[in-house]
């Protein structure tokens, strides 16, 4: 169950001696781009021999991949020891699943001497359990409509949640956001007497070159596809610099060329890609990426979507570039019935696969490029079947 609010987790962390305050933190919230921005930061940290932890969501295989130390998933033993600490501190029954996992992440980070911790907000920001920290550098890659049942049905309401990760007298780094969102962010910055650092104003990407004050890095070529990844890369570089780490141009070049994130235009095979786009902004980015990289290809979409997503918009955008559709039922409790997608899709080439085990991603179809999209949960399930 999702229960926004910080009172429960703050009480739990107080009982544990507030492990969340031990490290330097970069806190990332936003509608899209959080995971990619953290992937770039992890790669940059690794190339510069920094020790780092990260807490991200959702999981791609299981909860162990949400908490990483120096790029390695936490072990079952590490997680078991953290849960024993929770039990001994009398925290059983106090927290939701995500709150528990957040506390476990802080406990595991506390066991390590880390230069930096990268923290991804689960949903929203202001009332998300990750926002229990007192000091952090805040990063918001994007703001658009999503999770309206929890965050509100307007950009302004959603922006209020995202901007809430900014701390008093802190710093906030933002990507391109709508003007209505920017007005909310500006108000938050003013109220907290903080500093705002904006893309295309304070730091810039011009072609393959990044500039910020006296810092300049050229020939930056990320492997993650899509022009939006240049923005996420620039945010990541700026965040590391603002965290007072010196960066070397060659190491930054290597880092961004190696940074990758499962489920974000992830190349599964020569002709198959996986992208967890599930809202308007991410679907728009996916469509533009496909147009850019596969302009003359026939595109076959394998799609599964959660019930609370704007599936009509998703279908409309993908129909612009699709050669065919395959709608899938998957196991998530909020998964939308594939029959509904089939009914509302106006494309002539479409079919339903009720049993996800019948989808073969191993065999190559040379006539099409296959894109799996609509939900990271669908991608997780398909990966398990097609490993």
Looking at the structure, do residues 204 and 303 belong to the same domain, yes or no?
no
Looking at the structure, do residues 154 and 228 belong to the same domain, yes or no?
yes
Q: Minimal CA–CA distance to 24: which of 239, 226, 217, 255?
A: 239
Q: Residue 46's domain spans which residues?
A: 7-258
Q: 6 is written with which tokens?
A: 């910080």
Task: Report if residue 2 sits inside a domain.
Answer: no
Please give the torsion angle defined by the CA atoms of residues 53, 56, 61 and 67, in that order, rounded to the nearest 10 degrees.
Answer: 30
Task: Report if residue 196 sits inside a domain.
Answer: yes
Looking at the structure, do residues 346 and 296 belong to the same domain, yes or no?
yes
User: 299 - beta bridge partners?
Assistant: 322, 369
Q: Which strands make up the sheet holding 137-140, listed edge to edge?
A: 72-73, 67-69, 52-55, 116-120, 25-28, 137-140, 171-174, 195-198
Our count of domains for the chain comes to: 2
User: 216 - beta bridge partners?
Assistant: 211
Looking at the structure, do residues 238 and 284 belong to the same domain, yes or no?
no
Q: How far apart are CA 125 and CA 174, in angstroms?
A: 14
E strand intervals along the chain = 25-28, 52-55, 67-69, 72-73, 116-120, 137-140, 171-174, 195-198, 203-206, 209-212, 215-217, 266-269, 272-275, 299-303, 322-328, 350-353, 369-373
User: Taking the chain (387 residues) in consecutive chunks of 10 residues, what is each chunk's mean pLDDT?
Assistant: 82 96 96 94 98 91 92 96 95 92 97 97 92 97 75 87 96 96 97 98 97 97 90 98 98 97 88 91 92 94 94 96 96 93 97 91 83 93 80
Looking at the structure, do residues 283 and 325 belong to the same domain, yes or no?
yes
User: 328 - beta bridge partners?
Assistant: 353
Looking at the structure, do residues 282 and 251 belong to the same domain, yes or no?
no
Domain boundary among 240, 258, 276: 258
CA 37 to each of CA 42, 44, 73, 141: distance values in angstroms, whole numbers, following the listed order: 9, 11, 18, 8
Looking at the structure, do residues 188 and 281 belong to the same domain, yes or no?
no
Q: Looking at residue 317, which CATH number applies to its domain?
A: 3.90.190.20
């Amino acid at each position: 169950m999702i229960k926004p609010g910080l009172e429960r987790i703050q009480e739990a962390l107080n009982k544990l001696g507030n492990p969340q305050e031990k490290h330097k933190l970069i806190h990332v919230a936003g509608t899209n781009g959080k995971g990619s921005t953290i992937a770039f930061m992890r790669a940059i940290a690794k190339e510069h021999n920094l020790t780092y932890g990260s807490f991200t969501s959702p999981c791609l295989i299981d909860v162990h991949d949400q908490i990483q130390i120096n790029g390695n998933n936490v072990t079952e033993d590490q997680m078991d020891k953290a849960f024993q600490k929770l039990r001994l501190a009398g925290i059983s029954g106090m927290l939701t699943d995500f709150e528990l996992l957040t506390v476990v992440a802080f406990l595991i980070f506390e066991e390590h001497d880390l230069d930096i911790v990268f923290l991804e907000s689960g949903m929203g920001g202001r009332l998300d359990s990750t926002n229990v920290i007192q000091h952090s550098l805040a990063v918001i890659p994007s703001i658009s409509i999503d999770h309206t049942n929890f965050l509100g049905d307007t950009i302004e309401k959603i922006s209020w949640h995202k901007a809430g990760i900014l701390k008093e007298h802190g710093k906030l780094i933002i990507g391109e956001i709508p003007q209505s969102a920017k007005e909310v962010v500006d108000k938050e910055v003013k109220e907290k007497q903080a500093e705002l650092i904006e893309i295309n104003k304070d730091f810039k990407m011009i072609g393959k070159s990044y500039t910020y004050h006296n810092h300049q890095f050229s020939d930056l070529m990320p492997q993650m596809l899509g022009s939006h990844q240049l923005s996420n890369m620039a945010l990541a570089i700026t965040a590391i610099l603002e965290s007072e780490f010196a960066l070397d141009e060659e190491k930054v070049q290597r880092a961004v060329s190696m940074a990758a994130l499962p489920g974000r235009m992830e190349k599964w095979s020569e002709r198959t890609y996986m992208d967890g786009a599930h809202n308007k902004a991410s679907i728009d980015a996916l469509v533009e990426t496909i147009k850019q990289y596969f302009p003359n290809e026939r595109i076959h979409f394998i799609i599964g979507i959660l019930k609370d997503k704007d599936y009509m918009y998703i279908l409309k955008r993908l129909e612009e570039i699709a050669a065919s559709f395959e709608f899938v039922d998957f196991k998530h409790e909020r998964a939308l019935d594939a029959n509904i997608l089939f009914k509302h899709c106006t494309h002539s080439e479409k079919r339903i696969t009720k049993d996800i085990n019948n989808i073969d991603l191993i065999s190559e179809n040379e006539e099409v490029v296959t894109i799996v999209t609509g939900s990271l949960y669908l991608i997780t399930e398909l990966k398990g079947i097609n490993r």
